[in-house]
Amino acid sequence: MDNLNFTKELIGFLDKSPVSFIAVDNLKKMLSENGFSELYESQKWGIKPGGKYFVTRNGSAVIAFKAPEDPKAFAIIAAHSDSPCFKIKPNAEIRVEDRYVKLNVEQYGGPNISTWFDRPLSVAGRAAVKTENGIEMRLVNIDRDLLVIPSLAVHLSRGASDSRSLNVQKDLLPLFSGGDNGNSFIETIADSINVHADDIIGTDLFLYVRHKGRIWGLGNEFFSSPRIDDLQCAYTAVEALIGSDDSESVQMCCVFDNEEVGSGTKQGAKSTFMRDTMFRICKALGMDESDMLRMLASSFMLSADNGHAVHPNYTNKSCPTNRPYLNGGVLVKYNAQQKYTTDGVSEGVFLKICEDAGVPYQRYVNRSDIPGGSTLGNLSTEQVSINTVDIGAAQLSMHSAYETAGVDDAGYLYKSMKAFYDVSITSPADGIYNIK
């Protein structure tokens, strides 16, 4: 598939994945349609050599893998399902002068707050519903334009466009209705999932932007969409796993949740989810703890999360000698403070894979006087220590409600991930890494 058509399919996934719960549900459907069988953490696992499987945690994180006949290592790609946004608080309705109803929200992660004003919004997530058989979790997506966060006219506040002066509790509350205008908010949620409002006893609900993804530019070279960071990497990693050839490694894709708030949850990269899954795979294939440790010594992971391209209006914000651009190739990310995991070993292995596959790459390092954020790799190694390289695609407007990336880079990222899955990497005692 060419880069343009791959990007169109990526945009289709982004359009129908407004929150992590629904994104993971869509990834599950992709896996099931391609022969992967679902496992459950609460049950015994019947893993067979040559089988394909996936397991979820919390409904917002998923690990999929292929089990080879005689595994020598793990080949892992990790990404995350969440994006910065606003979460709706319990008892959300706030009445204003008996003429408006707005919703009470709190910030999730680090969104570019000013980009959320004056856009059509809606609500998605999940609800805990009382049923005859117990508590059932239902996915929620009110698929219509439901809300707007109206900005204050510049005539009334000359600093209204300055995001540094914005207060989430005061300025970012979305307008829901014009007073007594039908259902309450919780009744609206209940109607969308065909239950009574009294049966909803818990929710995880978030605002999302209704704008669809678009391909644009003189040569159709760019695309914009909500949630490019990091659903682009999550979708691409799953597609690469589905399309990968057989290997001597356990080919694994991990899509974690809550990266935007530190990954310190049971479904985050700092959790035991990946380690637990690896242990159960090894046990099911007849291996003991020593065998697993031996495999980990030869294992390799791509920590996949997007990075910043040189901005056309702020070129001085990038490193003077490492200048990644949209459509310039896969990013390899570096940080001396170990916010990224790339070192000389992991860099060399991944770049050799890219060169053999004919995939262009470029290097990303922050300006030395601008601190960068962390991502998945250095957090997951707290549980499982393996060689890891941080990669991604270059993009603009990261954490905006509507982000921008390069069409060709989407295809390059897929080709690099598939090439990674298709090879076998071994690390013998002499320290030479064999890639075949």
- Is residue 113 located within the same domain as residue 34? no
**Helices and strands in the chain, H and E counts:** 10, 22
pLDDT at 372: 76
CA 144 – CA 224 distance, rounded (Å): 20
Same-domain pairing of 280 and 417 = yes
- Can you name the residues that pair with 131 across neighbouring β-strands? 134
Does one domain contain both 77 and 98? Answer: no
Side-chain half-sphere CA neighbours of 205 within 13 A: 28
Residue 187 sits in the same domain as residue 232: no
**Residues 56 and 95 occupy one common structural domain:** no
Strand 403-406 and strand 222-225: the pairing is antiparallel
- Give me the pLDDT at residue 378, please: 82
pLDDT of residue 265: 94
Domain enclosing residue 69, as ranges:
3-83+226-435
DSSP per-residue string spanning 243-299: HPPP-SEEEEEEEES-GGGTS-STTSTTSSHHHHHHHHHHHHTT--HHHHHHHHHT-
Shared domain check, 97 and 63: no
Q: Do 270 and 419 fall within a single domain?
A: yes
**305 plus 156 within the same structural domain:** no
Residue pair 201/135 in contact by the 8 Å Cβ criterion = yes
What CATH number has the domain bearing residue 112?
A: 2.30.250.10
pTM of this structure: 0.96
Q: Given 209, 241, 261, which residue is the final one in a domain?
A: 209
Considering the domain boundaries, does residue 13 fall inside one? Answer: yes
Q: What is the tally of structural domains in the chain?
A: 2
In a domain? residue 161: yes
Residue 349 falls inside a structural domain: yes
- pLDDT score for 160: 52
In the Cβ-directed half-sphere of 45, how many Cα atoms lie within 13 Å? 26
Tokens read off for 142: 């009110």
Q: Are strands 434-435 and 361-365 parallel, antiparallel or unpaired?
A: unpaired
Regarding whether 338 and 416 lie in a shared domain, the answer is yes
Cα separation, 356 vs 290, whole angstroms = 33
The pairing of beta strand 73-80 with beta strand 300-304: parallel
Cα angle 319, 324, 328 (rounded to 5 degrees) comes to 165
Long-range contacts of 275-278 (CB under 8 A, 24+ apart): 275/383, 275/384, 276/41, 277/55, 277/63, 277/65, 277/252, 278/74, 278/250, 278/252, 278/384
Domain C-terminal end among 184, 209, 234: 209
Query: What one-character DSSP code corresponds to residue 216?
Result: E
Domain match, 191 and 337 both? no
Does residue 214 form part of some domain?
no
Domain shared by 131 and 15, yes or no:
no
Query: Dihedral sign, CA of 104, 224, 82, 161?
Result: negative
Among 36, 88, 91, CA closest to 64: 36
Instruction: Please give the pLDDT value at position 333.
Output: 95
| 221 domain residue, yes or no | no
Cα separation, 178 vs 130, in Å, equals 30
Angstrom distance (rounded) from CA 242 to CA 247: 13
Domain contains 220: no
Tell whether 217 is covered by a domain: no
Q: What is the CATH number of the domain that holds 400?
A: 3.40.630.10
**Last residue of some domain: 177, 209, 241?**
209
Same structural domain for residues 90 and 79?
no
Per-residue pLDDT of the chain (436 residues), as tens digits, is 799 999 999 999 999 999 999 999 999 999 999 999 999 999 999 999 999 999 999 999 999 999 998 898 999 999 999 999 999 999 999 999 989 999 999 999 999 999 999 999 999 999 999 998 999 999 999 999 999 999 988 887 765 555 557 889 999 999 998 877 678 999 999 999 999 999 999 999 999 999 999 999 999 999 999 999 999 999 999 999 999 998 889 999 999 999 999 999 999 999 999 999 999 999 999 998 889 998 998 899 999 999 999 999 999 999 999 999 999 999 999 989 888 999 999 999 999 999 999 999 999 999 998 887 778 888 888 888 999 999 999 999 999 999 999 999 999 999 999 999 999 877 766 666 777 7
The whole-number pLDDT of residue 429 equals: 60
Query: Which residues, including other chains, have CB under 8 Å from residue 303's CB and lie 6 or more apart?
Result: 78, 340, 341, 375, 376, 377, 378, 380, 388, 389, 390, 391
Length of the chain counted residue by residue: 436
Residue 219 in domain: no
